[in-house]
Structure 1
Amino acid sequence: MSIATVNPTTGKTEMIIEPHSGLEVDQRIAEAAAAVHALRRTSFAQRAAWMHAAADILDDQAAGLGELITVEMGKPIAQSVAEVVKSAKAMRFYADNSATFLADAPLDDPTQVGASQAWTRYEPLGVVLAVMPWNYPLWQVIRFAAPALMAGNAGLLKHASNVPQAALFLDTLFERAGFPKGSFRTLLIGGAEVGAVLADARVAAVTLTGSEPAGRSVAAIAGDHVKKAVLELGGSDPFIVMPSADVAAAAATAVRARISNNGQSCIAGKRFIVHDAVYDEFAAAFTAQMAALVVGDPLLPETQVGPLATEPGRQELIELVDDARAAGATILTGGTVPGAPGWFYAPTVIADLPDNARLVQEEAFGPVASLYRARDREDALRIANQTTFGLSSSVWTNDPEDESVFISGLDAGAVFVNGMTVSYQELPFGGIKRSGFGRELAAVGQREFCNLKTIWKA
């Protein structure tokens, strides 16, 4: 198993890191289990002070951490720095709101259950294992770690093997800020070793963000051991444009949605479903803007699209586009591999996709957009719901009836009207169908890894 930083811009190996031995993994689980007992003796105010201190560390090191992220996974530097800042903001959000989110809730009239008092209380589950991807190497982890630690849980992180420097930074972050030793620990292990960690009696629950196969595997192990799981898996989000929409704004936003994070985001518009009345206008604007994007070294401020994070990831994208081309789809722009070193792929727009093309059902994890022409509202809704995914969605319309129909009819965990899907710490995040189950962020995300205890007093 290789745990290494391989710079996707150059293809060169920057650092190789030795995985943890079985003894080291056991020691780290033991430290996390001990930290749970220490955390339960602390107050929300104390944990909040530590969480604010951890957020300060991120803000103080934002520039350096941004460069680290870009070198490890290739996103444009401005986006990497923004990820660090966003992570710090979420940490402060949970520091300031956890006491409210997890406050005891008394029953208004306890006499109706024969009690003098009755209430519910949220308590931590214990050690929670997080299996996290490389595409947002800080944000994906922090949006789990901040609410989990503020609730009094401890965390174990199995990060993607191509972002080990980010994983090692996170291993020490919370302890540096004052949290008890072991409150958050990184496990440098391969995917094959996750099952044994999850099966360990000291681990209470698991959260995974990643592929559907990985989610299936983790969910099966969690189920076998009767442990709580939250899964955020793939997405092929529809981006619907109706006749009443501001087409120019929709096209510009569609470009940002598709190329954010070099196109490697689960919650991004991937399938652009456009009403026949405005299809030609949208397609022309969208294609022209995608073709004009600056592709290059992500450390340069003018770069808009960097390389894909891994060589296998680029190869999967190549195969999806080649399959669509062979099936008869039209490549409006892109569909090529630049000759430069690194794992680049040209921003691509594909139209006229036949039903048998893999792109119709599979997720394109890179700067590749699929265009669909819809006859009417019902046809747009049919196309939007035809995949097995149901993460998020975006609808562009100024017609109240359109808005109502799509909000109610879309099979998705979220609907954004006249805007691009974004994760906010104030709003729950997660999907349905094969995009997973459970929620992250907001109050409900924090409560996923708490025991809701009922107290009845005579």
Structure 2
Amino acid sequence: MPIATVNPADGETLKTFDALTSEETEERLVTAEAAFRTYRVSDFDERARLLTRAADLLDDDTDDIARVMTTEMGKTVVAARAEAAKCAKAMRWYATHARGLLADEFPDEEDVRDSGASKGRVVYRPLGAVLAVMPWNFPLWQVVRFAAPALMAGNVALLKHASNVPQTALYLEDLFRRAGFPEGCFQTLLVPSSAIEGILRDRRVAAATLTGSEPAGRSVASIAGDEIKKTVLELGGSDPYVVMPSADVESAARTAVTARVQNNGQSCIAAKRFIVHTDVYDTFAEHFVAGMRALKVGDPLDESTDVGPVSSEQGRADLEELVNDAVDRGANVLCGGRRPKGFDRGWFYEPTVVAGITPEMRIHQEETFGPVATLYRVADLDEAVAVANDTPFGLSSNVWTRDDSDVERFVRDLEAGGVYVNGMTASHPAFPFGGVKRSGYGRELAGHGIKEFCNATTVWHAA
């Protein structure tokens, strides 16, 4: 795959980039290793100062980098500006909280004495250079939610970004450089996917994090496992959105539209499977379909656009295959299901709702990465849980109910890394983020995320 910016709104190639040579990649690994030797012993105040400066610069750059993101992967410019603001917020959050999150831990004194020690503690030390293999759908946020905690912990970062967002990738390296981070603390590697194995096997790379597809996750995990290196994986998602009889159904339907089409429907944590109790199914379906039909599809640089193109021609073809397979097997398309009229260029697809889903349909098990929703009718809470869990994924979930007993049942039984009650899933630096099953392992964000790439070191003093 070429390293290039191809505008999804019209298919035009805007810029192309040469991949790094093996010699250039080696230079960056040497630089990363040298940077870690000194950066690892910097103090929290200095790291916080640098990260806060990066946040300030990002605020200043918001309009420019938002336009870059929009032309590289098709998200609306409104969403792109919000993504930049979210990144700056996360940087400031970690600049403020990292010291406390990584503070030394002191076991109970009785337990220390019982171990035969006079005193003891646990300290958190950085691992080294962490390779981040990141996707195109949130080209700033996916990187920052790894980089902010990793840099505050004293690690250094090597970014292998998706090949269709090279300008965003290079911007990130430049951002951290301008903020004053020492040379080598954050480097972008413009390399093809075939180069990942060699980089990950290099002794100077301590660990890896990947957000992306299942095949990519399996590949990185197997290489890292062979090298006995730590990994964090955030893979696909097919999040359930459950609506029970006690819910505010109209509010649930309005939020469902946003939950499904955020980022043009290309989000791992977007709600994708809408599981609705039969008592409120018809009302929910009416409002949900009307909301999806009302969305404006168009130029993502137009401030009034609700849904832009999907990121690639192949991405649209994948959506079409899933919808067509479902229809061939008896599903009903309640709205959308085709390319919008008047868009001869670009990779647009109408906001779509498909009902009458059965287990033999591909769309029942595979992730729909675009503005396509599946709608299920269920008889009771037991069936809702069963349908919600009937997926290989387990990233997050959304439940709408005013019944506390419903909430407790969903929290206990849903196989997911998050349960969002009467609202849509969203990541925030104060809460850990990640999944189970084929959605991956490990956590990003919060204290859990910053400790993923730290060495929890026991310090024990003899009595």
> What TM-score results when the alignment is normalised by the length of structure 1?
0.99
Alignment coverage as a number of residue pairs: 458
2:291 corresponds in structure 1 to 289
Q: Distance in 1 between matches of 2:404 and 2:121?
A: 42
1:456 Cα offset (Å): 0.3
Counterpart residue identity of residue 55, structure 2: A
- Give the one of 369, 374, 392 matched to 2:373: 369
Q: Distance in 2 between matches of 1:315 and 1:413?
A: 30
Counterpart residue identity of residue 278, structure 1: V
Tell me, yes or no, if structure 1 residue 231 matches structure 2 residue 233: yes
CA contact (8 A) 1:430 1:436 kept: yes
1:112 Cα offset (Å): 2.1
Q: Distance in 1 between matches of 2:359 and 2:86?
A: 39
2:278 corresponds in structure 1 to 276
Counterpart residue identity of residue 365, structure 1: F
Tell me, yes or no, if structure 1 residue 6 matches structure 2 residue 10: no
1:355 Cα offset (Å): 1.5
User: Where do 4+ consecutive residues of structure 1 move more than 2 Å?
Assistant: none
2:252 corresponds in structure 1 to 250
2:268 corresponds in structure 1 to 266
- Give the one of 360, 365, 377 matched to 2:364: 360
- The alignment yields a C-alpha RMSD, in angstroms, of 0.7
Aligned residue runs from structure 1 range 102-251, under 5 A: 102-109=102-109, 110-251=112-253
Counterpart residue identity of residue 115, structure 2: V
- Give the one of 379, 390, 396 matched to 2:394: 390
Deviation per residue, 1:82-136 (Å, 9 max, x gap): 0000001000111111111111112231222221110000000000000000000
Q: State the SS of the aligned residue for 1:105.
A: coil
Deviation per residue, 1:54-94 (Å, 9 max, x gap): 11110011111111111111111111000000001000111
Counterpart residue identity of residue 5, structure 1: T
1:407 Cα offset (Å): 1.0
Q: Distance in 1 between matches of 2:254 and 2:214?
A: 30
- Structure 1: state its 5+ residue gaps: none
1:41 Cα offset (Å): 2.4
1:203 Cα offset (Å): 0.2
Q: Distance in 2 between matches of 1:209 and 1:118?
A: 37
Q: Distance in 1 between matches of 2:358 and 2:181?
A: 54
Q: Distance in 2 between matches of 1:106 and 1:202?
A: 32
- Give the one of 442, 445, 449 matched to 1:441: 445
- Structure 2: state its 5+ residue gaps: none
Q: Distance in 2 between matches of 1:184 and 1:69?
A: 20
1:406 corresponds in structure 2 to 410
2:82 corresponds in structure 1 to 82
Q: Distance in 1 between matches of 2:351 and 2:108?
A: 57
Q: State the SS of the aligned residue for 1:61.
A: helix
- Give the one of 306, 324, 327 matched to 1:325: 327
Deviation per residue, 1:260-282 (Å, 9 max, x gap): 00000000110000000000000
Counterpart residue identity of residue 420, structure 1: M
Aligned residue runs from structure 1 range 26-65, under 5 A: 26-65=26-65
Counterpart residue identity of residue 366, structure 2: E
1:401 Cα offset (Å): 1.3
- Give the one of 345, 349, 356 matched to 1:345: 349
Q: Distance in 2 between matches of 1:352 and 1:43?
A: 58
Counterpart residue identity of residue 435, structure 1: S
Deviation per residue, 1:345-372 (Å, 9 max, x gap): 0000000012211010000000000000
1:173 Cα offset (Å): 1.7
Q: Distance in 2 between matches of 1:138 and 1:317?
A: 25
> What TM-score results when the alignment is normalised by the length of structure 2?
0.98
Counterpart residue identity of residue 286, structure 1: F
Counterpart residue identity of residue 35, structure 2: A
- Greater shift in the superposed pair: 377-386 or 34-43: 34-43
Counterpart residue identity of residue 322, structure 1: N
Deviation per residue, 1:34-59 (Å, 9 max, x gap): 11111122100001000000111100
Q: Distance in 2 between matches of 1:48 and 1:268?
A: 32
Counterpart residue identity of residue 286, structure 2: A
CA contact (8 A) 1:107 1:117 kept: no
Counterpart residue identity of residue 354, structure 2: I
Q: State the SS of the aligned residue for 1:342.
A: coil
Q: Distance in 2 between matches of 1:38 and 1:272?
A: 51
Q: Distance in 2 between matches of 1:280 and 1:60?
A: 47
Q: Distance in 1 between matches of 2:359 and 2:412?
A: 25
Deviation per residue, 1:142-193 (Å, 9 max, x gap): 0000000110000000000000000011122212111110001011111111
Counterpart residue identity of residue 416, structure 2: A
Aligned residue runs from structure 1 range 412-431, under 5 A: 412-431=416-435
CA contact (8 A) 1:38 1:180 kept: no
Q: Sequence identity, in percent? A: 57
- Greater shift in the superposed pair: 105-114 or 272-281: 105-114
Q: Distance in 1 between matches of 2:39 and 2:174?
A: 16
Counterpart residue identity of residue 427, structure 1: F
Q: Distance in 1 between matches of 2:397 and 2:363?
A: 17
Q: Distance in 2 between matches of 1:421 and 1:397?
A: 15
Counterpart residue identity of residue 175, structure 2: L
